[in-house]
Amino acid sequence: MTNFQFHTTLLLLCVSSCVYLDILPVKAESILIRPYYVYENLIKGVHDYFNNTCIILFHGSSKLIEEEGLQEMDGLLTLQTRFSKYLHIRTVIMDFHMFKNRVEKTYHHIKRPLFVLLNDFKEIKEQFVSVSKWITMAYPTWLLFLRDETRFEEFLSDVYIPFDCVFMVAQRDRQGSEIIQDVYRIGKEDYLRSMTFGTWNSSHGFQGPLLGLYQRRHDLHGHNIRVVAINDPPISRISRDKAGQPFGITGFFGEVIQLLQEGMNCTFSYKEAETWGVQLLNGSWTGSIRMLIEDETDLIATEMMMSSDRLDVLKFTTPIYTSKCRVFIKRPDTTAVKWNAYLAPFAWNIWNVIALTIVIVTLTIAGIDAFSRRIEWLSSIGGGTPRPSNDLFEILFHVFGVFCGQSMDQSLLDPTRMVHLSVHLTAVVVIAAYSAALISYLAIKTFVMPFTTMKGLLEDGGYRFAVVANSAEYSFFQNTTDTVLSIMFEELLTRETDLPINYLDGLQRVCREKNYAFMTLDNMASVLQGKVDCVLEPLDVIMQVTIAMAVPFQSPYRGIIDTNILLLRDSGILQRLLKIEWSNDEIRRIKKGWTSVELEDAAPLLLFLIAVYTIVCLLLLVERLIDRNRERRSKTN
């Protein structure tokens, strides 16, 4: 409702009430039970204290009054004029019948109204009792004026004033000052409780409390609050008695609930829900949300993800923490046999250069040897004996041995020695570089993610995808407008007939089943990493989420719960609980100073040795057979 609309509505109501009042006959009792100035100053003081936007004065009269009552009506109109014209406070005069007929449930369009009951007559009491059954009592601020002989317990005996409602009762004391009592009930069946809100007198004016509402109302006096929880270890575990009935919660939310119980001085009774809850096609809800809507519980004490569809049916408390939501998959296996393990340290062009170097050195040594034998042969014509030549393959084998860390037979030729020195120096550098690269390659476990986005997961086609059953994540995919996520819901998520019941179950399936992707929160995956048998790898973040607890729409305890959560957060207790809960993850993240090389890493080399040994044995066997065959032939000949 805009300011113009509100001003128009108030003007029409004022004109209607003025015309209505001008034709009314007189009542036996005066509508104003206080002097005019008391009403003006006290109501003005309360208005300024709460910073209300408007005032509605309820006089409670719906009968005609005679002409001598016009003076009383003039006092009401003067009071209204004083507030509206001189104090610039939007004000209207009406009774509850007019309020119901003209305003009714559109009252929530009026921001921060102050409802003033000008007297405690029987008629206004009956009307007020009727209206209190459908209006949200905690929405406006209430001020009731009582006569000296009236007890507020009698006037409000049939009215439920919830714990979060600001309902003030003004009554005179013997000195003529107005004592303002703050009245409320902790529960519907509880008795009326009161405490002094403030005072007003002509000399000091209005004096209100220095403390806030929940600093004054910080004690529930042992009132029982019904709590529903979900068994979602380790962050929320249900404790059961011998009969299997839940009697408490442990884990992170169990600690929070215990601190809330101590801070609010209340008791908790526990129920268990199998799922968080989702909205069905017919509009109904399941799980813990259904229990909250149907008034089976007062508080959902587990991690509730804030979402737009849930905001339509419940209220969230102050956020407990924030996290990121993403999909996790099992880390690709790095223990498989690496057939290229001993070739990977060098690129193929380096291997080609090494092979070319071996060939060139072999040919160089063979050339030098041939040239030297040629000189010796020419010298042998004069009576010298030429030196026998070296086999080319023998030289190649010796040069290859140098690159394997072996030595060569010493040559008597200085040119050949220079070549030996050069090839040994080259081999030392190559072996050192190869050894360092090989050790790093074998010791450092590297892997390549098959994909990092939801689009990549969808395009891969080989992965299943799941979320927790009846959860906010499921509703997110069900209601999303993103094309990729919609396709994933229709093609992957709807095919999963047996969704995980909680985050631990989902992550265990990631490790147990092949190509299984599961969506969860970062902190949950962090905590549960030590409870699963594989290493989890995250994809890109999908969304930032806020985690809180939930209460019904008109819960009278939401304010005191929020206040205590804020106290836990501001004092650092909530952060300490979170740190303790996630501390195990920090320990798991500490890496060792070294990494062991596993047997699979040496498998290619071992298989190569076995293959060479087998080939050698076969060659030896063939040679023996050939040799025996020659011996037999020679004996026969």
Q: Are 142 and 135 in contact (CB under 8 A)?
A: no
Residues 6+ away with beta carbon under 8 Å from 493? 465, 466, 467, 474, 477
DSSP state of 107: G
Q: Are 314 and 553 in contact (CB under 8 A)?
A: yes
d(CA 465, CA 513): 11
3-state secondary structure of 271: strand
DSSP state of 279: B
User: Alpha helix (H) ranges present in 23-58?
Assistant: 36-50
> Which helix (DSSP H) or strand (DSSP E) does residue 68 occupy?
none
Query: Tokens 């740190």 map to which residue?
Result: 579
d(CA 293, CA 271): 15
d(CA 503, CA 307): 18
Please give the distance of CA 178 from its chain centroid, rounded to a whole number. 50
pLDDT attached to residue 307: 87
pLDDT attached to residue 8: 47
pLDDT attached to residue 23: 34
The strands making up 113-117's β-sheet, listed across from edge to edge, are 90-94, 54-58, 113-117, 141-145, 167-172, 178-184, 193-201, 205-207
Neighbouring-strand partners of residue 114: 55, 141
Please state, as a whole number, how many other Cβ atoms lie within 10 Å of the Cβ of residue 596.
9
Token digits of residue 178? 């107005």
d(CA 555, CA 567): 20
405: left (phi over 0), alpha (psi -120 to 50) or beta: left
State the chain's mean pLDDT as an integer: 84
Model confidence pTM above 0.85: no
pLDDT attached to residue 367: 83
Give phi and psi for 107, each to the nearest 5: -60, -25
| Three state DSSP letters for 149-207 | CCCHHHHCCCCCCCCCCCEEEEEECCCCCEEEEEEECCCCCCCCEEEEEEEEECCCEEE
Token digits of residue 537? 């790898």
d(CA 18, CA 10): 12
d(CA 179, CA 201): 9
pLDDT attached to residue 381: 60
List of domains in the chain: 36-216 (3.40.50.2300), 348-377+390-443 (no CATH)
Give phi and psi for 335, each to the nearest 5: -95, 5
Q: Which residues of the chain have pLDDT under 70?
A: 1-29, 61-72, 333-339, 376-390, 412, 444-447, 583-602
pLDDT attached to residue 599: 64
DSSP state of 596: P
pLDDT attached to residue 598: 63
pLDDT attached to residue 160: 95
